[in-house]
Structure 1
Amino acid sequence: MDPLARALLTAACVAALLALARRFGQRLAGWLTGLPIVTLPALGWLALDRGAGFAATAAAGCVAAGAGCALFGIGYAWASRHRAPAAALATGALAAALPLPWWSQAAMPLPVALPFALLSSLLACACGIAALRVPGAAATRPRTVPGSLVLSAGTAGLVSGAVSWAAGELGAFWSGVCASAPLVAAVLAVRLHREGGSPAATLFLRGYLDGIAGRSCLVALFALLAARAAVHP
């Protein structure tokens, strides 16, 4: 996908999710953020540009990144109870980086890498869902901050576009990992944390973990279909 097009798509998604968070609640916005609303289109473009085999391996990277995304949600929610948004974001980022040494499945064949990635992703999501089941208090309705929607959406779009541009140099698997970095979730979590406090961010991240579990399964299915298309074009 063209970096500019991906940036615009991401910005539009973030804007819609922020609007949903204010209208329908943080949990729904988190769930939608976790789903592959940006990942699947990116994988589709990779399949068209670089072939089904490349897209299948990139999808395995996306599934593997789900474990890091889940750990980001757990780390941020835990830190947000006692820390400011900046410190919570740093904690979440460090937690998301924990699986990096174990992502050696990049060198594994897809039939081995994909189940390993899916299992690790679903296990991390299950642990996070159990840990965040009780947020501690009812979330308040986030107040409207002038320009917050445009600022959050624009920031996410610019960062996502930059990652998309650089990821093509990293190979198929790591392109998928970079494409699934929790950038949108980070922007929204920080914004909700500032506007509604830790309960608002935690409810958002609880929904996010639900969405990641679904995303991992959907992207794994994409990987299987793409791998089959590569063998039987």
Structure 2
Amino acid sequence: MDGLFKALLTAATVLLVMVAARYGGRRVAGLVAALPTITAPTLAWLAHDEGMSFAISAAIGSVAACAMLAVFALGYARAARYGGCLLALICGVGGALAMALPARAASTDLGWALVLALGSSALTFAAMPRMGAEVVPPRGRPRSMLLVAASAGGLTALATLIGPAMGGFAAGLLSSLPLITGSVAMAEHAQGGHRASAHFLRGYVGGLFGKAAFGAVFVLLAPRTGALPALSLACVCACLLSTVRPRLSGLVAPARVTR
């Protein structure tokens, strides 16, 4: 039942992100995709089923995994300029796997996990292609949107079944896999070209600062307040930081158009 619920939640989130891309802009959609929509309920289930210590370990793992997600976005965005969706996806996944060992090593300590996550996200944000204003309006057919959402939901259900048996880091990593990000990036790439996916992924990387803050706040508060209050405050912090961070970056880093 938990796996089915998580799959449905993932599918609904994919639809939300794609609708946000269609009506609110791709960078807004990227910020929405980076929010801990899947990580938060996963930590709640883990705290209930496996205990608080396991949930905290998974949360630290999810913070460290932000480094992998950032490099995934960079690899996809850079490769999309020279090839199709499949090549871009392979490069993105390859970049994420290259960060797997550093993320695993950092997942034993919240401080190191934060250093890795924030440092990688900052460097990646600076290296992301800057495409200027969106020139292709977001669009998407309802049938294709449903197909992407259903595929992401199925993959999440599979991850839910094997996560708890593989340890805290694996559970945190599985709850942070770029299922939503990869699905929407490929859909935007196919429909609007590499510029469309780059806009989405740039917003996503900006949102990873909020995702890292979410995990850190949960780890620090959960032993004192319990899982649900800690998750609530962590979600508030993630939303606030994801909103403020892109505005600040826009003030200090004017857009540069990449052809």
Q: Same fold (TM over 0.5)?
A: yes
Q: 1:217 aligns with which of 209, 213, 224?
A: 213
Q: What is the match of residue 188 of structure 1?
A: 184
Q: 1:171 aligns with which of 167, 186, 198?
A: 167
Q: What is the match of residue 105 of structure 2?
A: 104
Instruction: Say whether the 8 Å CA contact 2:33–2:181 is kept in structure 1.
Output: yes
Q: What is the match of residue 136 of structure 2?
A: 140
Give 1:137 shift: 6.6
Give 1:35 shift: 1.1
Looking at structure 2, the residues matched to 138 and 12 of structure 1 have their Cα atoms a distance apart, in angstroms, of: 25
Q: What is the match of residue 90 of structure 1?
A: 90
Looking at structure 2, the residues matched to 176 and 83 of structure 1 have their Cα atoms a distance apart, in angstroms, of: 31
Give 1:143 shift: 3.4
Give 1:51 shift: 1.4
Instruction: Say whether the 8 Å CA contact 1:139–1:203 is kept in structure 2.
Output: no
Q: Aligned pairs, how many? A: 225
Instruction: Note the alpha carbon deviations across 1:171-192, whole angstroms, 9 max, x for none.
Output: 1222111111111100000000
Instruction: Note the alpha carbon deviations across 1:116-138, whole angstroms, 9 max, x for none.
Output: 11111111111121112622673
Looking at structure 1, the residues matched to 75 and 34 of structure 2 have their Cα atoms a distance apart, in angstroms, of: 16
Amino acid at match of 2:207: G
Looking at structure 2, the residues matched to 52 and 61 of structure 1 have their Cα atoms a distance apart, in angstroms, of: 14
Give 1:142 shift: 3.0
Instruction: Say whether the 8 Å CA contact 1:34–1:215 is kept in structure 2.
Output: yes
Instruction: Give ranges in structure 1 of 5+ residues lacking alignment.
Output: none
Regions of 4+ moved over 2 Å: 135-139, 142-146, 226-230
Instruction: Say whether the 8 Å CA contact 2:77–2:129 is kept in structure 1.
Output: no
Instruction: Note the alpha carbon deviations across 1:77-97, whole angstroms, 9 max, x for none.
Output: 000111101100000000011
Looking at structure 2, the residues matched to 226 and 123 of structure 1 have their Cα atoms a distance apart, in angstroms, of: 25
**SS state at 1:97 partner:** helix
Instruction: Say whether the 8 Å CA contact 1:3–1:165 is kept in structure 2.
Output: yes
Looking at structure 2, the residues matched to 53 and 40 of structure 1 have their Cα atoms a distance apart, in angstroms, of: 15
* 1:81 and 2:81 are equivalent in the alignment: yes
Pairwise CA RMSD: 1.6
Q: What is the match of residue 125 of structure 2?
A: 129
Q: What is the match of residue 4 of structure 1?
A: 4
The within-5 A match list for 1:145-156 is 145-156=141-152
Relative contact order, higher structure (CA 8 A, sep 6+): 1
User: CA, structure 1 residues 65+213, in 2 after alignment: closer, same or farther (shift >3 Å)?
Assistant: same
Q: What is the match of residue 235 of structure 2?
A: none
Looking at structure 1, the residues matched to 225 and 139 of structure 2 have their Cα atoms a distance apart, in angstroms, of: 48
* 1:43 and 2:43 are equivalent in the alignment: yes
* TM-score, normalised via structure 2 length: 0.83
Q: What is the match of residue 115 of structure 1?
A: 111
**SS state at 2:208 partner:** helix
Give 1:28 shift: 0.4
* TM-score, normalised via structure 1 length: 0.91
Q: What is the match of residue 19 of structure 1?
A: 19
Q: What is the match of residue 68 of structure 1?
A: 68
Looking at structure 1, the residues matched to 196 and 135 of structure 2 have their Cα atoms a distance apart, in angstroms, of: 5
Give 1:229 shift: 5.6
Amino acid at match of 2:199: L
Q: What is the match of residue 30 of structure 1?
A: 30
User: CA, structure 1 residues 101+79, in 2 after alignment: closer, same or farther (shift >3 Å)?
Assistant: same
Deviates more, 1:84-93 or 1:95-104: 95-104
Instruction: Give ranges in structure 2 of 5+ residues lacking alignment.
Output: 227-259
